[in-house]
A = this chain, B = another copy of it.
């Protein structure tokens, strides 16, 4: 082919796909970390991820899902691209590029699986400083957390940390955990109504007081973005 651009002339950067999978468990924001068995940073904890397998992955989103499934056994309820991190110094093997995904899941969906493996576990974001972490993953997790906090202000994505059926009280707790501050129950109810993403389940559950209405996400709805943030 004339003018064919021969890629073998170029040193290709190392390309990997990692994911920051968040959940809310016992009123704490947690992130899934994996104990590394191979160099570099063997023995330290890092984000679940790895290399693209061009023979089985149709695109890099599938790489992220495949690697997450290896650790959790299921696909996350929410997945979007966060950012790409790159540099000549972030990996001792040379110039590296990591595409990082940002994911949410209900803890109950994966708790039994996580409990059975010993190389993956939920790390409380407030205890991340104590953990020996590989690469720049601590920094990446902080950026992912900021994105999550921002999105929690103008969208309902925190619902993807909840089980299929959930109450307003549970929703409130998840949002408050993510934001690190209280929000008005009334504001959440108003948004549940305005978003038109949710429907009442014909069932109520105990709550310590009056029975609480259960809600679920309507099938095949998209995330609604509000025009205003909750107050910061």
Also in contact, A10 and B95, with CB within 8 A (given A38-B3, A42-B3): no
Q: How far is the CA of A95 from the CA of B59 in the complex (A)?
A: 8
Instruction: Please tell me how many copies of the chain the complex holds.
Output: 2
A135 to chain B, nearest CB (A): 13
- Whole-angstrom distance from the CB of A223 to the nearest CB of chain B? 13
- B residues less than 8 Å from A52 (CB atoms): 10, 13, 95, 97
Partner of A97, one of B15, B153, B227, B232: B15
Determine the main DSSP class of A at the interface with B. loop
Which chain B residues border A93 with CB–CB below 8 Å?
7
Query: Per a CB cutoff under 8 Å, which of B51, B59, B153 touches A7?
Result: B51
Residues of B near A39 (CB, < 8 A) are 1-5
* A73 CB–B CB distance under 8 Å: no
A12 to B51, CA, bound (A): 8
Which of A1-43 touch B at CB < 8 Å?
Answer: 1-5, 7, 10-15, 37-39, 42
Interface status of A99 (Cβ within 8 A of chain B): yes
Shortest A227–chain B CB gap in Å is 4
CA distance A84 to B5 in the complex (A): 21
Whether a CB of chain B sits under 8 angstroms from the CB of A60 is yes
- A3, B87: Cα distance in complex, Å: 23
On whether the beta carbons of B81 and A84 are closer than 8 Å, the reply is: yes
Q: Output the nearest chain B residue to A7 by Cβ-Cβ distance.
A: B14
- How far, in angstroms, from A99 to B81 measured CA to CA in the complex? 11
- For A1, the chain B residues whose CB sits under 8 A away are 39
Q: How does the 8 Å CB contact mask read for A57-89 relative to B, with 1 for contact and 0 for none?
A: 111110000000000000000000101101110
For the complex of A and B, the 8 pairs showing the least CB-CB separation, nearest first, are A3-B38, A54-B95, A60-B86, A227-B229, A59-B87, A59-B86, A228-B228, A11-B54
